[in-house]
Amino acid sequence: MAAVTLEAVHKSYGKNHIVRGVSLTVADGSFLSLLGPSGCGKTTTLRMIAGLERLDSGRIAIGGGEVDGPAAHVPPERRGLGMVFQSYAVWPHRTVAENVAYPLERQGLNRSERDARIREALAQVRLEAFADRQPHALSGGQLQRVALARALVGRPKVLLLDEPLSNLDAALKEELRAEIAALRARLGTTMIAVTHDQAEALALADQVAVMRAGVLEQVATPQALYAEPNSPFVAGFVGGANVLDGEVRGGAFVLGGVRLELPTAVGDGPCTLVLRPEDAVLEPTGTLPLAARLFLGATTEYRLQLGDVALRVLGPPHPFAQPGTTVGLTLRAARVFPRELR
Amino acid sequence: MKRSALTAALLAPLVIFALLPLAVLVVRGLRSPDAWGLLVDPATFAALRGTTITSAGAAAIAFGLGLPLGLLLGRTDLPWSRAWRALFALPAAVPPFIFAMGWQLLANPRTGLLNTALHLHVDIYSSTGIAFVLGLSALPLVLLPTLASLEQVDAAWEEAARLAGAGPWRTLRDVALPLALPAAGSGAALAFLSSASAFGVPYLLGVTASPPIPTLTTRIWAQVLLGAHGLDQAGALALWLLGLSTLVLALAQRLGKRGRVSLASGKGARRTRLPLGPSRVAVSATTGLVAFVLVVLPLLVVVVASLQKNFGTFDAFTTAHWARLSHDTRTLGAFGQSALLALGTGVIVTGAGLALAWARSRLGQPFGAVAWLAAWPYAIPGTVLALGLILAFSLDTRVVLFDSVALVLALMNTSWLLLVAFSVRHLALGLRAARDGLERVDRSLAEAARLSGANRLRAFLDGTLPQLRGPLVAGFTLAVLASLTELTMATLLLPPGTDLLGTLLFELMSYADPAGAAVLACAVVAVVLLGQAAIAAAAPRKVAS
Amino acid sequence: MRWLCALLLLAGCRIERVSPSAGAAEGGDEPQGDLWVYTSMYRHVVDALDPVIAKALPKVKVHWFQGGSEKVMARLEAELAAGGTQADVVLTSDPFFYQRFKDEGRWLRYVSPNAVRVSRQLIDPDGAFTAVRLSTMVMIRGKDAAAPESFGALREPPFKDQVALGDALTSGTAFTWAVFTESARGDPWFRMLRLNGARVAGGNAAVLQKVQSGEAKVGVVLLENALKAKAEGAPIEIAWPADGAVVIPGDAAIFSTTRHRRAAEGLIDVLLSPEGQDVIVRLGDMHGVDPRAAGPRGEPGVEGLLVRSQPWTEGMRESGAQTGEQVKRRFREAFSQ
CATH number at residue B499: 1.10.3720.10
Question: Is C64 close to B225, i.e. CB distance below 8 A?
Answer: no
Alpha helices in C273-315 (DSSP H): 274-284, 302-307
Burial C232-250 (b: 16+ CB within 10 A, else e): bebbbbbbbbebbbbbbbb
CB-nearest partner of B391 from C73, C82, C202 = C82
Chain B interface includes A83 (CB < 8 A)? yes
> What is the band of A181 on the pLDDT scale with cuts at 50, 70, 90?
confident
Q: Of the residues B209, B224, B259, which one is the last residue of a structural domain?
A: B259
CB-nearest partner of A91 from B450, B453, B463 = B463
Chain B interface includes C82 (CB < 8 A)? yes
**Looking at residues B497-523, what average pLDDT do you find?**
75
What is the CA B416 to chain-centroid distance, rounded?
21
Chain C interface includes B439 (CB < 8 A)? no
Nearest in space to B89 (alpha carbons), one of B44, B145, B127, B41: B145
Peptide linkage before A135 cis (omega within 30 of 0): no
Residue B241 lies in a domain: yes
CB-nearest partner of B405 from C17, C84, C167 = C17
For residue B354, pLDDT over 70 is answered with yes
CA distances from B315 to B233, B525, C212, C295 (A): 47, 25, 12, 31
Q: What is the pLDDT of residue C179?
A: 92
Q: What is the pLDDT of residue B362?
A: 76
For residue B394, pLDDT over 60 is answered with yes
> What is the band of B211 on the pLDDT scale with cuts at 50, 70, 90?
confident
- Which residues, numbered 163 to 222 in chain C, qualify as contacts with chain B under a Cβ-Cβ cut-off of 8 Å? 167, 169-170, 172, 197, 199-206, 208-210, 212-216
Residue of A nearest to B543 (CA): A134
For residue A18, pLDDT over 80 is answered with yes
DSSP-assigned letter for residue B173: I
**Looking at residues B290-312, what average pLDDT do you find?**
81
Residue B353 shares a structural domain with residue B494 = yes
**Looking at residues B1-13, what average pLDDT do you find?**
78
Residue B93 lies in a domain: yes
Residue B542 lies in a domain: no
> What is the band of B311 on the pLDDT scale with cuts at 50, 70, 90?
low
**Looking at residues B254-277, what average pLDDT do you find?**
61
Alpha helices in A154-291 (DSSP H): 170-187, 198-204, 222-227, 232-237
Residue B109 shares a structural domain with residue B209 = yes
**Mean of the per-residue pLDDT values of chain A:** 86
User: Domains plus CATH for chain C?
Assistant: 30-134+248-309 (3.40.190.10), 136-246+318-335 (3.40.190.10)
Could you count the other beta carbons within 10 Å of the beta carbon of residue C186? 8
CA distances from A146 to B100, B429, C66, C214 (A): 55, 37, 63, 72
Question: Is B394 close to C71, i.e. CB distance below 8 A?
Answer: no
**Among A137-141, B22-26, B461-465, the least confident range:** A137-141
Nearest in space to B480 (alpha carbons), one of B537, B526, B423: B423
Nearest in space to B61 (alpha carbons), one of B127, B132, B126: B132
Chain B interface includes A151 (CB < 8 A)? yes
> In C, which residues are within 8 Å of B393 by CB distance?
82
**Looking at residues C309-334, what average pLDDT do you find?**
87
State what percent of residues in chain C have pLDDT above 70: 91
Q: What is the pLDDT of residue A124?
A: 84
Q: What is the pLDDT of residue B162?
A: 64
Residue B284 lies in a domain: no
Residue B7 lies in a domain: yes
**Looking at residues A200-221, what average pLDDT do you find?**
88
Residue B201 shares a structural domain with residue B151 = yes
Evaluate whether B205 touches B124 at the Cβ level (below 8 Å). yes
Residue B522 lies in a domain: no
For residue B270, pLDDT over 90 is answered with no
> In C, which residues are within 8 Å of B105 by CB distance?
213
Evaluate whether B394 touches B412 at the Cβ level (below 8 Å). yes
Residue B112 shares a structural domain with residue B250 = yes
Residue B239 lies in a domain: yes
Under 8 Å CB pairs connecting chains A and B tally to 104
Give the structural domain span for B44: 40-259
Residue B133 lies in a domain: yes
> In B, which residues are within 8 Å of C41 by CB distance?
none
**Of B44 and B364, more confident:** B44
Question: Is B310 close to C9, i.e. CB distance below 8 A?
Answer: no
For residue A115, pLDDT over 70 is answered with yes
Question: Is C5 close to B9, i.e. CB distance below 8 A?
Answer: yes
CA distances from B144 to B89, B353, C162 (A): 7, 17, 43
State what percent of residues in chain C have pLDDT above 90: 57
Residue B168 shares a structural domain with residue B191 = yes
Q: Which fold has domain A242-338?
A: OB fold (Dihydrolipoamide Acetyltransferase, E2P) (2.40.50)
Q: What is the pLDDT of residue C223?
A: 94
Q: Count Cα neighbours of A162 within 13 Å in the Cβ-side half-sphere.
A: 25
Chain A interface includes B254 (CB < 8 A)? no
CA distance A313 to chain B (A): 38
Report CA torsion sign: C64, C67, C73, C78: negative
For residue A318, pLDDT over 60 is answered with yes
Residue B27 shares a structural domain with residue B153 = no
List the chains bordering chain B where 3 or more Cβ pairs fall under 8 Å. A, C
Question: Is C12 close to B409, i.e. CB distance below 8 A?
Answer: yes
DSSP C179-201: HHHHHHH-TTHHHHHHHTT-EE-
Q: What is the pLDDT of residue B510?
A: 67
Nearest in space to B72 (alpha carbons), one of B138, B135, B143: B143
- Which residues, numbered 301 to 330 in chain C, qualify as contacts with chain B under a Cβ-Cβ cut-off of 8 Å? 324-325, 328
**Mean of the per-residue pLDDT values of chain B:** 81
> In C, which residues are within 8 Å of B222 by CB distance?
169-170, 328, 332
Q: What is the pLDDT of residue B543?
A: 34
Residue B410 shares a structural domain with residue B444 = yes
Residue B18 shares a structural domain with residue B52 = no
**Looking at residues B319-348, what average pLDDT do you find?**
80
Chain A interface includes B263 (CB < 8 A)? no
What residue segments make up the domains of chain A, in order of their start?
4-231, 242-338
CB-nearest partner of C78 from B225, B226, B391 = B391
CA distances from B202 to A335, B56, B422, B426, C159 (A): 83, 14, 22, 21, 26
CB-nearest partner of B266 from A92, A106, A137 = A92
Count of structural domains within chain B = 2
What is the CA B490 to chain-centroid distance, rounded?
16
Question: Is C86 close to B105, i.e. CB distance below 8 A?
Answer: no
Q: Of the residues B229, B259, B289, which one is the last residue of a structural domain?
A: B259
Q: Which fold has domain A4-231?
A: Rossmann fold (3.40.50)
Q: Do chains A and C touch, with touching meaning 3 or more CB–CB pairs less than 8 Å apart?
A: no
Residue B120 shares a structural domain with residue B231 = yes
Peptide linkage before B211 cis (omega within 30 of 0): yes
Residue of A nearest to B445 (CA): A89
CA distance C198 to chain B (A): 9
User: Which residues make Cβ contacts (< 8 Å) with residue A252, sequence separation at least 6?
Assistant: A259, A260, A261, A262
> What is the band of B520 on the pLDDT scale with cuts at 50, 70, 90?
confident
Strand order through the sheet with A65-68:
A16-26, A4-13, A57-62, A65-68
The crossing angle, in degrees rounded to 10, of helices B415-438 and B139-150 is 40
Chain B interface includes C11 (CB < 8 A)? no
CB-nearest partner of B447 from A89, A106, A137 = A89
State what percent of residues in chain B have pLDDT above 70: 84
Residue B392 shares a structural domain with residue B249 = no
Q: What is the pLDDT of residue B164?
A: 63
**Residue B153 backbone dihedrals phi, psi, to 5 degrees:** -80, 130
For residue B416, pLDDT over 60 is answered with yes
- Which residues, numbered 49 to 68 in chain A, qualify as contacts with chain B under a Cβ-Cβ cut-off of 8 Å? 50-52
Please give the ipTM for the structure prediction.
0.85
- Which residues, numbered 104 to 143 in chain B, qualify as contacts with chain C under a Cβ-Cβ cut-off of 8 Å? 105, 108, 110-111
**Mean of the per-residue pLDDT values of chain C:** 87
Most confident of A23-27, A75-79, B404-408, B474-478: A23-27
List the chains bordering chain C where 3 or more Cβ pairs fall under 8 Å. B
Q: Of the residues B236, B259, B282, which one is the last residue of a structural domain?
A: B259
